[in-house]
Amino acid sequence: MNTSLLSRHAAWFSLDDFIFHINQANLRVRAEQLRTRLSVYPWLVLSQIILQFLFVILFWSQAPHQLLLSWLAILYALHAVELIRWFTHRDKLNTLQDCRDWHLHFTIFALAAGMLWGAATVVFFPADIAYQSLLICVMLGLVAGAVTMNSVHLPSLYGYFLGIMIPLILRVSFENDTIHWILTLMLSVYVAVVVLEGRSLNKTFVLSLQQRFENSSLLQQLTAQKAETEEARNQLERTNIVLHDNESRLEQMVHERTAQLRQRSDEIVAIKDTTILALTSLAGTRDNETGNHILRTQNYVRTLAIQLRDHPRFKYFLTDENIEMLFKIAALHDIGKVGIPDRILHKPGKLTPEEFEIMKTHTTLGGNAISGAENLTNVRNSTFLKAARQIAIGHHEKWDGSGYPFALREEHISIPARLMALADVYDAMSCRRVYKSAMVHDEVAEVIVEGKWKHFDPDVVDAFAAVIGEFKEIAARYRDQELNASGWKVAA
């Protein structure tokens, strides 16, 4: 039975159980094992002192007193050294060498204490079978206590345990009878079981330490990660605050800049409108017969543009913004008349061919004035100035190419000029001049319709036909005051 049990668990024994290797890789676990033994070490020693004293009393009548006292004195001297060592060096368990020193100390003193107990079993072995049983029970109790108290350090356990049990087993077997051989076998089995149980307890303890350290390491990592995450979150919050402040400041700056740009844009529009009014007013001082001609032609052009803005040929250009632009620049179509002499501009009768040639130059004079303004201000690719120049130059061009100043045909005439041409002719024919009488609305409409494909873009004429009622209303709303015989305005 003893042999079978030992063979079954032979793999449980290894040299490491006795050597107790200590290195940097396992230092934390080994140090904790030794530290656990250190924490209970005084109580182990004190319990041994008490048990040894009680043992002497128990066997006082069975052994020579001098031997008992000598044995007790040796053990007490051993324990005194242990306690002094513990008291002076108990806090020194940090380095690799400290652990090795305490391991050696525990192993030697456990082995010495066990051998002294083992010696007691041999020297004080009684002749009385009852006291023999009592001695065996005492030793088994010591061994059982050792398994419980010393399993954290296997070399101490094995040294103490085997130091007791080997002499005891040999002494019992020395009696050489059936009862004592049975006791020998039982003690041998007990040794095997205790050794296995001690190693199992030690493995469990070591695994728990390793798990604890792993958990501690994991906790430290998680704590560090949490701290990093918290710091990152705090940093992100601080960054968000800074970004929010910057965003608020930027938003405020954008609002201020936008307000400034809007104000500047409004100022530019106002300056532009004022300039147009000033130029048209200047032209009006030279050509005082036209009256509300500017207002009427502006509204005629806008009415035609609105009617044509969905037409396939015009919708790419006639956006809401450009329609409003055409309304404003229509006032500049006759700006070139500022350069025409008064004798021609104010002549009450029909102009001679030579005078008419001079009158025709008002188109190029107006276009050149606008181009000159572009060059002086270094303004390039301005839709506003380009359309103004096109109206000033091209509002007397005709669809069939018979107009002036460049005899342009069809699509070569700009859209602003085509719209202005019809609006200008309608107003010139429907209003009185010093050199002619006004035609009635229906007659003017008939002349314009007859000019389709000749004087005017056919689609522009169709648009006029669709809004002819609005033209009539505009003409009535902005009609001129009556002129006296001298050509001056009087109350209507």
Query: What is the pLDDT, as a whole number, of residue 489?
Result: 44
Q: Given this model, what pLDDT does residue 402 score? A: 94
Written as six digits, the tokens of 448 are 């314009």
Q: The pTM is what?
A: 0.49
Cα–Cα distance for residue pair 360/419, rounded to 1 Å = 19
| pLDDT attached to residue 432 | 72
Asked if the peptide bond before residue 405 counts as cis, ω within 30 degrees of 0, the response is yes
- pLDDT of 13 reads 43
Q: In this structure, how many other beta carbons lie within 10 angstroms of the beta carbon of residue 473? A: 13
Q: Is 489 left (phi over 0), alpha (psi -120 to 50) or beta?
A: beta
Q: How far is CA 324 from the centre of its chain?
A: 46
pLDDT computed for residue 268 by the predictor: 60
pLDDT of residue 378: 65
pLDDT value for 433: 65
Reading the block at residue 342, the tokens are 């008064």
Task: For the chain, 492 residues long, give each residue's pLDDT as a single digit of tens.
Answer: 344 433 344 344 444 555 678 888 888 888 888 888 888 889 989 998 999 899 999 999 888 999 999 999 999 999 999 999 999 988 888 898 988 898 899 889 889 998 999 999 999 988 888 888 888 898 888 888 877 766 777 888 888 888 888 998 999 899 888 888 998 898 888 888 877 877 777 677 777 767 776 777 777 888 888 888 888 888 888 888 888 888 888 888 888 887 777 766 655 665 555 556 556 655 555 555 455 888 899 999 999 999 999 999 999 999 999 999 999 998 888 888 888 888 887 788 788 989 889 888 989 988 888 887 777 766 667 788 888 899 999 999 999 999 999 999 999 999 999 999 999 999 989 887 655 667 888 899 999 999 999 999 999 999 999 999 999 999 989 887 654 444 444 433
Q: Are 440 and 475 in contact (CB under 8 A)?
A: no
pLDDT in the model for residue 380:
65
Separation of alpha carbons 370 and 362, rounded Å: 12
pLDDT given for residue 4 in this prediction: 42
Question: What pLDDT does residue 266 have?
Answer: 59
Q: What distance in Å separates the CA atoms of residue 461 and residue 466, rounded to the nearest whole number?
A: 9
pLDDT given for residue 128 in this prediction: 86
| CATH entry 1.10.3210.10 includes domain 287-477 | yes
Q: Which backbone phi and psi does 9 adopt, to 5 degrees?
A: -110, 25
**113 contacts 160 by C-beta, under 8 angstroms:** yes
Number of Cβ within 10 Å of residue 372's Cβ equals: 10
